[in-house]
A and B are shown apart, each in its own frame.
Chain A
Amino acid sequence: MPTEITSRGRSARPWLWTVVMLASAQASPGEATLGQALFTGARPLAAHVAGQDFALPQDAVACTNCHQGQPPNVFGPPLTRATLTRARARRGGPASVYDDARFCRALRDGIDPALVVIPQTMPRYAFSDPQCRALWAFLLTRS
């Protein structure tokens, strides 16, 4: 588990946070391509409903089902560099941001950076580490 960087830590060491974010933004073209395929569902995704043990069909699990489009016709929050890496309070909790590790935990276990459980509507994904990093890298290219 990477060292947690709290919002308090960020304000005290903004240069460190900048270094971390720039480092995480470096992705190979192949990684971003894989991430895009995972995001659109062009590459199969293994996922299930939280608390249930059967695999959901592919047309139920594409990220774009919920995270692509414009309000009010989009179900989930937009997934872009800005929305994922801007510190903000979620559901009234302390300010937090995603990083690659927190993003993977949210996908797999449904726990967001503020340690709040993500609604059951979002499937829980069985991403490998390379898949998870690739998806994260691709999302950081989105604005």
Chain B
Amino acid sequence: MTTTQLPRRTLLLAAASAAAAAATTLAPRSARAHNSAGVVQPPARPPAAQLTLDDGRASPLHDVLAGRVTALQLIFTRCRATCPIQGALFARAVHAFGDRPADAQWLSLSIDPAYDDPPALRAWLARFGPFPRWRAARPAPQDLPALFDFLNARNGGADNHTAQVYFFDRAGNLVMRSIDFPPVDIIVRDLRSLAAR
């Protein structure tokens, strides 16, 4: 890191901290998720959010989702409790799902955008992979609270997020939330079912 980058990173860290605070500590307890699982009817369009992917590319969330069926999980790479288990579940599910249909993808979305830069995201994926269709991304810090709200994904405790899987259709709309730590065969079944539509 150069000295000229320091102020920018400092600003990013500050913005991310503010966003995380808004997304978590200020959230009313009633807004915290309690396994709001099941079909989302009608399908819900996520809020606009800018992502940075593990390969460093920037892309709107909608563009990442559009044209594919997606299984999405929330993680952060420094998480030691639930996230390693979520990663193991995803790895098992991705392996079981196989290569078809080709427009299915898997996405780990970080809730720690200040820390989870593309190298950290790549390291996260490398712990479980390689799986070419499993990507990782971080949202812009200011977009995180709206994403938390949309997914109803706040959770109490140090890890601060649910361990659910969120399914998006090819239009980029949320169509289903799983339970926490869903069984691998259920993840695979539901993504295949979504892909067959």
Stretch at the interface among A17-25, A67-75, A132-140: A67-75
Q: How many residues of B contact A (CB 8 A)?
A: 18
Contact A74 B158 (CB under 8 A): yes
Q: Does B17 contact A (CB under 8 A)?
A: no
Contact A123 B85 (CB under 8 A): yes
Contact B85 A60 (CB under 8 A): yes
Q: Does B98 contact A (CB under 8 A)?
A: no
- Closest Cβ–Cβ distance, residue B163 to chain A (whole Å): 7
Contact B81 A59 (CB under 8 A): no
Query: Given A49-B181, A121-B163, A56–B85 Cβ distance below 8 Å?
Result: yes
A56→B127 CA distance, assembly (Å): 13
- Closest Cβ–Cβ distance, residue A104 to chain B (whole Å): 21
Query: Given A65-B81, A121-B85, A51–B159 Cβ distance below 8 Å?
Result: no
Partner among B84, B180, B181 whose Cβ is within 8 Å of the Cβ of A57: B84
Residues of chain A within 8 A (CB-CB) of B184 are: 52, 54
Partner among B158, B181, B183 whose Cβ is within 8 Å of the Cβ of A72: B158
A66→B82 CA distance, assembly (Å): 9
- Closest Cβ–Cβ distance, residue B197 to chain A (whole Å): 27
- Which secondary structure dominates chain A's binding surface? loop
Residues of chain B within 8 A (CB-CB) of A66 are: 80-81
Q: Does B88 contact A (CB under 8 A)?
A: yes
Contact B84 A51 (CB under 8 A): no
Q: Does A143 contact B (CB under 8 A)?
A: no
Report the 6 A-B pairs with minimum CB-CB distance, sorted nearest first: A60-B84, A75-B81, A65-B80, A75-B158, A66-B81, A60-B85
Can you name 27 A-B pairs with beta carbons within 8 Å? A49-B85, A49-B89, A52-B89, A52-B183, A54-B88, A56-B84, A56-B88, A59-B84, A59-B127, A60-B84, A60-B85, A60-B87, A66-B81, A74-B158, A75-B80, A75-B81, A75-B82, A75-B158, A75-B159, A76-B81, A120-B180, A121-B81, A121-B82, A121-B85, A121-B163, A121-B181, A123-B85
